[in-house]
Structure formats: structure tokens, C-alpha cells
């Protein structure tokens, strides 16, 4: 059975495990290799089954553990060409590393179909991923985006299980301690998705078959899990959807996210 676990989430590091039941992949490696291997062991997930690492973009909270992990395990890396060039420039790869432009690689990856979609973020080549399993079910990872473009919306519509960014509460951010320039960056179309912006997308997604929703990449300074959850659930309720009946919604903690079966 296919399953997914957001093992790490937030500005201190991101890593999601996705398995078809036979093969598995990681999306992002933003914490240390030691933390990732320990998290896999705690979930009784076998590192030897990991067939690929899919990188969304080259910010440190998505790649910081990659160099060491590749020294320990020679796992192929997939990303956009722009992201690969950043990883090469930062000398993340070693002489044995294998890496591929996801937009030029074959769509079929082991027993999953992988689709990369572009996102609006202040990092060239940023994107998200949709995984389609042999039974037709889909899962997606969609974080670090300033807004939900038509490209993003089309990509994630119809997925059964969705990891989506609910980064900040606008009021908390505007009244918080961040410098003005940082606030403007986060609020921009190349920043991060707010609780409200995330919530406003969910009704259409649930209406089109999304059942499992995981709110991710929460700001530790400008959000709370409770606020992110109630914002999304309130908008869904206003649109006639009932929690634990029409959908299941949870918030990914900074570490220790639970396993979701797809």
C-alpha cells in the first residue's frame, strides 16, 4: 500500500517520504543525513528502498543534508535544471553521484509516475511534485510558493493526498519582529503561502477528490498549528465540507510527522 510521511517540516528543514509499497523516494533533504536515517528507522522504513531524491529547490532548508546523505547512500537525485546547477555550484554532488533534470527524464519512475510542476518562489527553478501510483491514486508535495498559479492548481487538482504550504498568518507576520524587507518578501508572489491563501484553495481540491490534507512548512514565528488548522477547516466548513467525513486534515510538526496511507 502506498504511504507518505512528512518527516520534517518548516524553516529548520523539510523532508517527505513517499512509498508505493515497493519502492520509495524522498522529497527534499533539508535536515542532516543522521536525522533522516533515524527518522526512517523510527518509522520502520527501509533506507535501502529509496530509489530517488526529488529536490523542490535549492534553499538550505530543503538541501542541507544532501551532500552527506549522498556520501553514505548513492541515491539518484532529480530536480529542475536550475536547481541542479545550484547544487553543482555548491559542490553537493560527489564523483559517484547521479543526477537528472526531472523535466527531461522519463515520466515513469520505478512503479510511480512523477510529474514536476513549476512554482512561484524566490529561488530559480523551484517546483513541486505529483506522484501517481499503479492503482491510479496520486499524492503531491506543494510548498514554498507565493501564490497558487493556474499551473500549480492544475497539477494538484485530483490528488488524493496533498502536502500543501500554510506558512503564516498575515496579521502575525505584519505585527511581528521580522524586518520590513523580510515581511514584504514573504507576502510577495514569490514568497510563502499564507493560511488564508491556502484555505481558499482547499474547497476546490476537496471537491475534486482530495481526501488527505497535510498543512506544512509553518513559520515558527508567524503561525501556530492551531491557527493554520482552524483557518483551513473554517473555510471548508463554510463551503459545506465536514472534517473527518469529507476529508482528513492534519498539520505537519517540525519533526515526527505521522504516516498517511494513500
pLDDT in tens, 46-104: 788 899 999 999 999 999 999 999 999 999 999 999 999 999 999 999 999 999 999 98
Task: Give residue 52's pLDDT.
Answer: 94
Q: Tell me which of 9-18, 44-53, 232-241 is least confident.
A: 44-53
Q: Is residue 244 classed as helix, strand or coil in its secondary structure?
A: coil
Kindly indicate whether the domain formed by 3-253 is annotated with CATH number 3.40.50.300. Answer: no
- Kindly tell me if the per-residue pLDDT of 106 is higher than 70: no
Distant-in-sequence, close-in-space partners of 139: CB < 8 Å, separation ≥ 6: 2, 4, 18, 130, 131, 133, 159, 160, 161, 162, 163, 262
pLDDT at 44: 86
pLDDT band at 45 (very low <50, low <70, confident <90, very high): confident
Lowest mean pLDDT among 111-115, 168-172, 246-250: 111-115
Separation between Cα atoms, residue 184 and residue 191, nearest integer Å:
8
pLDDT value at 108 more than 70:
no
Q: What is the pLDDT of residue 177?
A: 95
**What pTM does this model have?**
0.96
Percent of the chain exceeding pLDDT 70 equals: 98
Categorize the per-residue pLDDT at 23 as very low, low, confident or very high, splitting at 50, 70 and 90: confident
Inform me whether the pLDDT recorded for 105 exceeds 90.
no
Q: What is the pLDDT of residue 109?
A: 64
Give me the mean pLDDT over the 175-195 stretch. Answer: 97
Say if residue 31 is exposed, middle or buried (CB neighbours under 10 Å; 0-12, 13-18, 19+): buried
Mean pLDDT of the chain: 95
Nearest-angstrom CA–CA distance, 123 and 240: 37
Q: Categorize the per-residue pLDDT at 251 as very low, low, confident or very high, splitting at 50, 70 and 90.
A: very high
pLDDT band at 207 (very low <50, low <70, confident <90, very high): very high
- Spatial strand order in the sheet of 248-251: 108-109, 112-118, 127-133, 138-142, 161-165, 212-216, 248-251
> How sure is the predictor about 194, in pLDDT bands with cuts at 50, 70 and 90?
very high
Amino acid at each position: 500500500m502506498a504511504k507518505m510521511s512528512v518527516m520534517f517540516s518548516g524553516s529548520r528543514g523539510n523532508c517527505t517520504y513517499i512509498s508505493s509499497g515497493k519502492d520509495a523516494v524522498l522529497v527534499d533533504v533539508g535536515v542532516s543525513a543522521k536525522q533522516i536515517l533515524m527518522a526512517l528507522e523510527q518509522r520502520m522504513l527501509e533506507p535501502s528502498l529509496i530509489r530517488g531524491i526529488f529536490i523542490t529547490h535549492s534553499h538550505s532548508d530543503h538541501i542541507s543534508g544532501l551532500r552527506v546523505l549522498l556520501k553514505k547512500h548513492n541515491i539518484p537525485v532529480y530536480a529542475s535544471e536550475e536547481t541542479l546547477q545550484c547544487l553543482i555550484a555548491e559542490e553537493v554532488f560527489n564523483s559517484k553521484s547521479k543526477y537528472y533534470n526531472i523535466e527531461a527524464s522519463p515520466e515513469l519512475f520505478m512503479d510511480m509516475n512523477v510529474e514536476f510542476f513549476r512554482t512561484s518562489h524566490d529561488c530559480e527553478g523551484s517546483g513541486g511534485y505529483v506522484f501517481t501510483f499503479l492503482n491510479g491514486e496520486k499524492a503531491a508535495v506543494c510548498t514554498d510558493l507565493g501564490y497558487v498559479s493556474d499551473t500549480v492548481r492544475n497539477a494538484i487538482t485530483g490528488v488524493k493526498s496533498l502536502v500543501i504550504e500554510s506558512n503564516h498568518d498575515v496579521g502575525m507576520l505584519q505585527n511581528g519582529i521580522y524586518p520590513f524587507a523580510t515581511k514584504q518578501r514573504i507576502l510577495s508572489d514569490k514568497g510563502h503561502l499564507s493560511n488564508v491563501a491556502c484555505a481558499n484553495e482547499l474547497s476546490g481540491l476537496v471537491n475534486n477528490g482530495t481526501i488527505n490534507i497535510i498543512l506544512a512548512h509553518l513559520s515558527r514565528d508567524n503561525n501556530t498549528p492551531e491557527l493554520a488548522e482552524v483557518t483551513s477547516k473554517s473555510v471548508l466548513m463554510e463551503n459545506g465540507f465536514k472534517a473527518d467525513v469529507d476529508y482528513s486534515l492534519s498539520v505537519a510538526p517540525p519533526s515526527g510527522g505521522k504516516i498517511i496511507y494513500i
